[in-house]
Amino acid sequence: MARRERVVRMSVELPLWRALAAYRVLTAGYAILLLVFTGDRYERPWVAVGFLAAMAVWTLATLPRVANAAACTKRFLGADLAVALTGILLTPLADAHAQQIDSPTLPSIWTAGSVLAYAIKGGWRWAGFASSLVAVANIIERGEPSRDTIHNVLLVWVASIAIGYVVEVARASERTLARALEIEAATRERERLARDIHDGVLQVLAMVQRRGTAIGGEAAELGRMAGEQEVALRTLVAGGLVPASRVSEDAARGAVVRLVDEPDGQDGAHAAAQLPVDLRPLLAPRAGSRVTLSEPGAPVLLPARTARELAAAVGAALDNVRRHAGEGARAWILVEDGPDEVVVTVRDDGPGIPEGRLAQAEGEGRLGVALSIRGRLRDIGGTAELVSVPGQGTEVELTVPRGTRGRQER
């Protein structure tokens, strides 16, 4: 089995659950130490020993229950709070003088763990409910409200409600992030499909329209129909009606990346996309009688996917030269291999692009520059700059950062 990257859920709540599990174990140990060092003051020490032994066993046995929100069920929360309340109410039975000296209850600060579990699981309302029951139990145990009792009750009540509120805010933020990730994934997939359509189907339809109109007769009617279909398809692409094939459900939950096992074939495809390849052979077919290619003498190494997308963007720029600069226009491709980036410049001697024409073309659904060039470069972490002066041609500068693997191979 090979390894690949997969998106898995990683909620911001998990650190809180881990902290809660550690808190329960530590505070159970603290309650036992209190009994060891102050056990001589108990009139019925066997009550304290029995309860703390049961509490310790319960704490260790239920650690999986406080591992995450799914495992922490309502039934567990009720039972856990019942253990805490029982310990509070048993305190006067084990220590008859507890009410006079305001000594700690049998579970001591372990009780706060039960309340915090409610806060993390259900938010501030659940925290308020659990802390109120603990407050009532403490007042009953003391017989009457004392200053220390009120202080401890308020501390647990405020802290648990605050934590519950923070958890609710974090969950709302996760949902917002999940929605943003879902929209971004769908948008990227839509743009990828739109580029494929533009570079394939739309180009063919446009060619059929031009040739049919030039030939005339029945071919002209075929060209007219092709033109109508081209307009309709451009409208779909520009209007964002091309659906994403699939949006990752894991990414829509808020995620991090980790390595997991996967069959060799899928991992091989991912690894192949990262292997360095020479950009020059991919650009060589673009050269011709009216296209001059200037390149370094040494290999220009880039990850395979980056090199393919860069070459496709160069092809889209040359398509625009042939379509808009005229049959007699010349173009030059210059490849510059820097230590940190690769820059490919496509320049022509055409009439240039009038000011505002690109924005107008995008509004008409003609997205060659927006999708086939800028969209491709953005997806591989690069940039595309277009400079055009009417009467002086057009220059497209494509820049991509060099990957770590490519630098090592050099």
Specify whether the CB–CB gap between 308 and 336 falls below 8 A: no
Specify whether the CB–CB gap between 157 and 131 falls below 8 A: yes
- Exposed/middle/buried for 381, CB within 10 Å: 0-12, 13-18, 19+? exposed
Specify whether the CB–CB gap between 385 and 397 falls below 8 A: yes
Residue 55: the pLDDT is: 94
SS3 292: strand
Specify whether the CB–CB gap between 219 and 211 falls below 8 A: yes
Specify whether the CB–CB gap between 195 and 375 falls below 8 A: yes
Tokens in use for 246? 């699939």
| Whole-number Å distance between alpha carbons of 238 and 191 | 10
| Whole-number Å distance between alpha carbons of 84 and 100 | 21
| End-to-end C-alpha distance for the chain, whole angstroms | 31
Residue 404: the pLDDT is: 42
Specify whether the CB–CB gap between 261 and 15 falls below 8 A: no
Q: Give the CA dihedral 88, 93, 95, 100, nearest 10 degrees.
A: 80
* Residue with token string 């390894």: 3
* Residue with token string 């743009």: 191
Encode the chain (410 residues) as per-residue pLDDT tens digits: 334 333 334 467 888 899 999 999 999 999 999 888 887 777 888 998 999 999 999 999 999 999 888 899 999 999 999 999 999 999 888 876 665 556 788 898 999 999 999 999 999 999 999 999 998 888 888 777 667 677 777 888 888 888 889 888 888 888 888 888 888 777 777 666 666 655 556 666 666 777 777 777 777 777 777 766 666 666 555 554 444 333 333 333 333 333 333 344 445 555 556 788 899 999 988 888 888 889 888 889 999 889 988 988 888 888 878 777 777 788 999 999 988 899 999 998 888 776 655 555 555 544 445 556 888 888 888 998 888 777 788 888 999 998 644 433 44
Tokens in use for 287? 């050269």
For residue 333, the one-letter residue type is I
Cα–Cα separations (whole angstroms), residue 237 to 152, 187, 225: 63, 12, 18
Nearest by Cα to 344 from 379, 375, 385: 385
b/e for 102-117, b at 16 or more Cβ within 10 A?
ebbbbbbbbbbbbbbb
Residue 86: the pLDDT is: 94
Q: 346 - beta bridge partners? A: 333, 396
Residue 369: the pLDDT is: 52
Rg from Cα positions in the chain: 35
Specify whether the CB–CB gap between 3 and 270 falls below 8 A: no
CA within 13 Å, CB half, 265 = 0
The distance from CA 294 to its chain's CA centroid, rounded to whole angstroms, is 40
